[in-house]
Structure 1
C-alpha cells in the first residue's frame, strides 16, 4: 500500500530530503516540515503532511538512548498521527503510523498509560488491518499485542479490567502472527526476538534458542534495534537456554 502519485508529487521535496531515512536525513526532513503551516497546506494533503511528521518523529525516536526523550518524541508522533487519522480515516499509511506510535507508547509507558495506550492501540490496529491485511508491521504488531496480553500478570489484568474488556489472546495467537510476519519480511531482529520470547513462554526452549540466536547475530547502528540484539544475547546466557542442545 503506497501513497497516491498526486500526494507523492506534492511532497517530493520532503521525501527527497528524507532520502534513505538516515538519522541525518530524517532530522533534515523534520526541520523542513517545521517550516510548514498545516493551515497553508491544501486540505487533501494535510493528512500526508501529518503522517510524514509523525513517521519521521517515530523513526528519530529509535535513535534516542534516553527513555524520557524517546517517550516525549513518541507522544508527539502519536498526536500528529492521530490528527492525520481524524483528517482521513481511510489513509492506510497514516493509520499504520498511528498504530506504531501507540503500540510503542504502550510498551514504554508506566502501567496506567500502558493500559490506556494498549486499548487504544487495539482499536487503531483493527481499523488499519481492515484497510489492508498483508502488511508486515501490522502483523508483527498484532503478534506483539497478543504476546503482551497473554503475558499480563494478575495485578495487571485487574488494573486493565478497570479500563476495559481484556481481549482473549494466547501465546499461540501471538506466535501465528509473528511467524506470518517473518514470512512477509525476513531477518527483522525485533520480530525474531519476540518469536523467541513467545516460544520461551510456551516452554519450547529449542525453538526459543534458535530464534534468539538469529536475533543476537544481527548487526545494527540503530539503538532501539540494538536493544533487541543485546536482550537476545542476555537471554541466551540464562542457564535454561545454555543447556539446550541444538
Structure 2
C-alpha cells in the first residue's frame, strides 16, 4: 500500500473517531434526566448522519470509515432501545406499586362474602426424604428428642421463597386464607389411606409456616396418628406415636378448651402405651380416659369420641381380676366398666351418625353376643357387611364379623339362604 494511502486511512479513522466522540457528547447533553421514554428520535439516526457518512466516504473509496460509523450507529441504537425498555419497566413497577393497595381492598371485599374452596384431586408423591428423617430418629428415647428428630421444630430450608414487601393487613389476610384452605384440604384427604399419607406430607410442608396455629398443631398430631396406623414397621410406629403425643401435649397446653386437642392426645397416648411396660401401660390408660372425658364434654356431638369410649369400656370390662388389682396397687384406684356401658357408647355413636363405621357395628355385635342377645348381634353383623372396607382396620373388622356370623348361624340355626353370600 502506498505511503500516501496509509496517511489518508489514518486521518480518516481519526476524523471518524472524533465524529463519534462529538456525537456521544451531543447525545449526553441533549438527553434529559429520566426522559429515555422521549428518545425514539434516535431511531432515525441514519438520516441525521447521512451527510457525515457521505463526507467520510470521500476519504477512502473502500468505505472503511463508513463501516465503523455504521457499527457505532448500531451500538447507539441498541443503547437507546435498552434505555427505552428500562423506562418502560420502571413505569410498570410504578403501576404495580399503585395497584397493590387497591388489590388489598378488592380481596378484603371478596373475602367478606362466601368463600368456596374446591377440592384438588390428590396426587400422591412418595417423598423419601421425610421417611428417612423419621427412621433416622427411631432410637430417640424422650419425647423432646422425638419432636426435634421428627422434624417439627427443625426448620424446613429445602426451598426458600423470596419475600415480598406488602402491607401488614394484606399479608395477614392472605395467610389466614391459605391456612383455611390447607386445613380443609387435609381434612378431606383423610378419606382414604393414600389420602392420609398425602395429608401428612402437606402438613410437613407447612409445619414452619403454621407451627404456632393450634388448628394446625392438633391436625399435625392426628396425622402422626394416621401414619402410626399405616406403618408396618415397629420402630417407625413407635416414632410416629411419640412425636404425635408430643405435639398433642403442646396442643392441650396451649388450647385446654379445644376438644380436638384432647381427643387426639388421648388417641396418641393409647398408641404410645402399646410399647410400654405394664406400669406405664396402665398409666397411659388412665390418661387416655381422662382426656377422652374432657373431649366428650367439649365435643358432645362427635361420634368418634363415643366409639373410643365404648372401646375403653369394653377393654376394661374384659380385664382379669389380677390386672385390675395390679392397677389399683399402682395408682390407688381400680378401673371398672361393664359391657352395658360399652354398648351405650357404641349406640350413642350410631345415634349421632347412623352407619358411622364398620368397626362400630362390629363392636355392637360383640357386645350383644356377650349379652346373649343374638338376634341384635346378627342384625349389626349384617349392617357391618353393607359398609365398604376402606382401611386395614375395616378389613380386619370384616373378617371378625364373618366369624361372628358363622358362630351365630350355629347358635340360631339360621337358614343358609338368609346369610349374605360374602359371609360364606
TM-score per shorter chain, which class? 0.7 to 0.9
Matched residue SS, 2:189: coil
- Going from structure 1 to structure 2, the CA distance change for 1:149 and 1:70 (only over 3 Å counts) comes to same
Matched with 1:128 is 295
Unaligned runs of 5+ in 2: 1-114, 116-172, 415-424
Counterparts of residues 190-201 of structure 1 (less than 5 Å): 190-201=359-370
Mapping 1:45-124, distance limit 5 Å: 45=213, 47-65=214-232, 69-105=236-272, 108-109=274-275, 112=278, 113-124=280-291
Relative to structure 1, is the Cα distance of residues 229 and 68 closer, same or farther in structure 2, using a 3 angstrom cutoff?
A: farther
Give the Å deviation of 1:174.
Answer: 1.2
- Asked if structure 2 preserves the Cα contact closer than 8 Å seen for 1:102 and 1:121, the reply is yes
Q: Classify 1:104/1:37 alpha carbon distance in 2 versus 1 (closer, same or farther; 3 Å).
A: closer
- Corresponding residue number in structure 1 for 2:324: 157
Shift of 1:183: 0.9
2:189 is matched with 20
The partner residue of 1:205 within 374, 381, 385 is 374
* Shift of residue 152, structure 1, vs aligned partner: 0.7
Q: Which stretch shows the higher mean deviation, 214-223 or 108-117?
A: 108-117
Deviations 1:183-241 (A, max 9, x none): 11122111111111111222223322322333244331311221111122223333x65
CA distance in 2 between counterparts of 1:197 and 1:105 reads: 26
Contact 1:143/1:176, CA 8 A, preserved across alignment: yes
Q: Distance in 2 between matches of 1:134 and 1:233?
A: 31
Match of 1:11 among 137, 160, 179: 179
**CA deviation string 1:131-168 (max 9, x = no partner):** 23222011111122111111111222122223322343
Matched, 1:219 2:388: yes
What number of residue pairs does the alignment pair up?
237
Q: 1:126 to 1:221 in 2, by over 3 A?
A: closer
TM-score normalised over the length of structure 2: 0.50
Question: For residues 214 and 76 of structure 1, what CA distance do their matches in structure 2 show?
Answer: 37
- Any unmatched runs of 5+ in structure 1? none
Larger-Rg structure: 2
**Partners in 2 of 1:183 and 1:91 — Cα distance?**
24
